[in-house]
Chains A and B, each alone.
Chain A
Amino acid sequence: MISKRIIPCLDVRDGKLTKGIKFKDNVDIGDPVEAAREYYEQGADEIVFYDITASSDKRDIMIDVVRRVAETIFIPFSVGGGIRNLEDMRNVILAGAEKVSFNSAAVREPAILTEGARAFGSQCVVLGMDVKKVAFSKQTPSGYEIVIEGGRIHTGLDALWWAQEAQRLGAGEICLNSIDADGMQDGYEINLTSLISENVHIPVIASGGAGKPEHLAAVLTEGKADAALIASMVHYRTYTISQIKHYLCGQNIQTRMLW
């Protein structure tokens, strides 16, 4: 049977690796290509790059990072952040990424999901969702709302509605990030994850809140996630991916153990 995937997420700004806590106070902590190679050697099943470069004239730096990563590791990886149109998507895919994730761009212009799926197949199109817990209301019946711009802008969109709508439009996977849990290392938002995962038929990657292997075990079982995104817990070398996988294996959660 299929293994649950463990996916380190690398935030990249101007070609350098950073990891923000709640999207603020980013600090450079290294070279993304080297980090990707290290995680590949440790048994990462996939890698996610999130480009937080602010100015668009520095985008070519990211394309160069993608190209060098593709020459170095032989597992799938995706790129998100700052991808606004088909042209951006094409550049990233031709540079060697397997998938592209759309976040704010998909909210502003949902047709990009359909166009991306038509051009490259829905397996290349990931919907990145930043979600915040809100009061239950007519507008947000699931109690979760989509936010963009790193949580600064509330969209008024209900998270569950948007996940299903994005799936209909062509997204082949969802990377579901809880803004409330992100950077806290206090565990994933289990309720949110199972709510979304049980109500779509495409794979869901849980994101935000991983601090120890127990958190991954919970989100991959109770949370019904198909994959778990991790950052700080491996970036700061508290754990290696191999250690996390051995822990999950002991909990009878199937992951890829040979690499």
Chain B
Amino acid sequence: MIAIIDYNAGNITSVARAIHNIGQDFVITDDTKMLDSASHVIFPGVGAAGEAMVYLRQKKLDIWLKACLLSGKPLMGICLGTQIILDNSEENKTNCIGLVAGSTKRFPEHLAVTGQVLKIPHMGWNRVTFRRNHPVFKDIDPAAEFYFVHSYYPSPSDEIAILGTTEYGIIFCSVLAVKNLVAMQFHPEKSGRPGLQILKNFCAWRGNDF
């Protein structure tokens, strides 16, 4: 059973629909007992860091997530769920969960490439350059593109946590991987076939890196 953490952060039903589409059972929950009994946990999210953290602390989900990283259970962060696993976020100057050392930063103003000003949010399809192989990204074509929509990006302090990067005026970390955690800035549930493949790979993953 795949658990999707419900923390009042936007449209998580699209993640559930994608999980259903790849033939997996799921539960949407904020109950730590239910999360304990799941084989895999997805931490999704669209919304703002500040409000998300208030709700997570109320439900003690921040503590649960820290324990989850130690337990070895496969854990996936998506979008806001990736940004707030770091120590802090520039969005509303928020202290976050701290599963991974580092911070979440805002794209600089006035990004430009060859004269064309880049819009913020970074909204649309973009590529990921992977630094190493990872079971969750097995069989993903290097030319595949993924759907992004964000104004902030994760910036882990330890380089080794960076699995993939994306270029948008700057080169930023778009995929993080630490032990049984894999976290991405883009939305696999909205990234067509390659996105569904990532979710499929995740559901088959045992939480080990190699």
Contact = CB atoms under 8 A, between A and B. Distances in A.
Interface of A: 1-5, 40, 45, 70-71, 74-76, 93-94, 96, 98, 120-124, 172-173, 198, 201-204, 224, 226-227, 256-259
Contacts, number: 101
Nearest to A73: B192
Interface of B: 10-11, 13-14, 17-18, 20-21, 46-48, 113, 116-126, 141, 143-145, 147-150, 167-168, 187, 189-196
A258 B141 contact: yes
Query: Taking chain A's interface residues, is the majority helix, strand, or loop, or is none over half, making it mixed?
Result: loop
Contacts of A3: 124-126, 145
Contacts of A4: 124
Nearest to B168: A2
B189 A74 contact: yes
A224 B10 contact: no
Given A70-B17, A74-B18, A74-B21, A172 B121 contact: yes
Contact of A121 (B46, B195, B196): B46
Given A74-B192, A172-B121, A172-B123, A258 B149 contact: no
Contacts of B14: 70, 96, 98
A122 B126 CA distance: 20
Contacts of A123: 46, 121, 123, 149-150
Nearest to A200: B119
B143 A227 contact: no
A87 to B, nearest CB: 16
